[in-house]
Amino acid sequence: MRHPASRHLLTLFVLVCVASGMTVRNAVGTELRMTPIVKAVQGVKESIVNIHGHKTISTASAIGDAPRQVNGMGTGVIVDERGYIITNQHVVEGVRRIQVTLNDGTTYVAQLIAFDEKTDLALIKIDAEKALPVVTTGTSSDLMPGETVIAVGNAYGYENSVTRGIISALHRTVQVSDTQKYYDLIQTDASINPGNSGGPLLNIDGEMIGINVAVRVGAQGIGFAIPADTVMEVASQLMSIQRLDAHWHGIVGETKFVNGVASFHVKSVEPNSPASLCGIQTGDVITAIDDLEVCRMLDVERALLDRETGEEVSFKVSRGEGDEKSMSLVLQGQGAGGNYVDAAWELLGIRVQSVPSNEFRANNSRYRGGLRITAVKAYSPAARQQIRVGDVLVGMHEWETISVDNLEYILKSDVIAQKRPIKFYILRDNETFYGDIAVANYRVR
């Protein structure tokens, strides 16, 4: 004879087992669903933004080009916690009011800081009330055709759309229009649709290895991205303290990867620069600036941005095996040529630095020297003449521009005072280009 309590205990035991089984199955199921792709997207989604706004375009009509308003949309990635965002230049070009929406739904109005037409990259900034998460960046130097990649973006206005595919090929050259040609692109079959432009292409580890830029119209499964190493190099130029703060450091460096670990190596140091004066040497490995770990040139610019002239900044440097040094760099205004820095920025829209004479000799240049363009102001006279970061200014009017003193003399000359366009000569990829550049209204003191 069974006791009634036994039946209740058996029922309770069955219920506990069932409940426990369901819990185990749910845990296992959740773990299985958390694939590397899911983890990659979750790790980066907070640093991806949606970009939208209105721009005016011209459409052909029977009576000529008729302007009309269209909705612009795209994607961007946060590269600095203060609200600096990298996207495609064509995403923000002509947009009257750039709006940026974060992953949490908060929307801000953004300011266009700088852009580079050659690479179709732009830097914009929002003023958020908090520190923003920065995208984790890998390297595009070791990519393999066939490896899995993930594209994230604002496809057709559907925010945070995720697609996956593989790397189909590397080093592609793509002509998308009469005026825009891309070089060294990553080709992928991950779906890249309108609105994805400016968004990240990720590897399976959740690192950004490219910025999505283009899709071959009419072709299925053919999209392209700008390699991350190119993006970071251009971002460092767009965000340089020479451009944004009129400061300088004098460091030229490169990122090297060993077993997937990045380190920043000093290639050269400008004579009499703040870096030279504090003791930084060619071959040094800069590991940190204050509390910011340094792996790229962009990290150097980020660490020195928004500082005061004369401020001391702590550098940690590795020089040989086990030789760690701490140095204090004192920030200076760019050069000592009076206010030529402001004048060049306001009159022409450029910032420059001297090119070492040995660099010209190494390239068998017919010029004695020049000034490398380190920054170009958006919509300035220089930008309208398609002068780019990296160009070398070798002459203006009838004068050479070997040193900053030469440029200061030209900017104070009667030729500039007359406000008429003057001839300029630049060196780009060992070819000379020239044109006539107008000057803006600015009084040189």
197 is catalytic: yes
Nearest residue to 310 via CA among 289, 290, 330, 328: 330
DSSP lists the bridge partners of residue 160 as none
Q: Catalytic residue among 80, 120, 299, 391, which?
A: 120
Binning the chain into helix, strand and coil, the percentages to the nearest 5 are 25, 40, 35
Q: What's 45's DSSP letter? A: G
Question: What CA–CA distances, in Å, run from 198 to 34, 71, 90, 402, 419?
Answer: 26, 16, 9, 37, 38
According to DSSP, the residues that pair with 112 across neighbouring strands are 124
Kindly calculate the radius of gyration of the chain based on its CA atoms and give it in whole angstroms.
27
CB 268 within 8 A of CB 252: yes
Q: Which residues of 312-333 are buried (b: 16+ CB within 10 A; e: fewer)?
A: ebebbbbeeeeeeeebebebbe
Tell me the sheet residues that pair with 148.
Answer: 166
Active-site pick, 140, 161, 191, 197: 197
Strands (E), 189-323: 200-203, 208-215, 223-227, 247-248, 251-258, 261-269, 285-289, 292-293, 312-318
d(CA 55, CA 414): 40
Cα dihedral 184, 190, 191, 196 sign: negative
Ranges of H-type helices in 63-163: 89-92
Choice among 90, 249, 284, 354 that is catalytic? 90
Told to judge if 3 belongs to the known catalytic residues of this protein, a careful annotator would answer: no
DSSP H or E run through 39: helix 36-44
Active-site residue, 171 included: no
Cα dist from 121 to 198, 208, 225, 232, 236, whole Å: 8, 15, 12, 10, 12
Give the CA count within 13 Å in the CB-facing half-sphere of 113.
Answer: 24
CA distance 246 to 261: 32
Neighbour tally for 131: CB within 10 Å: 10
Catalytic residues: 90, 120, 197
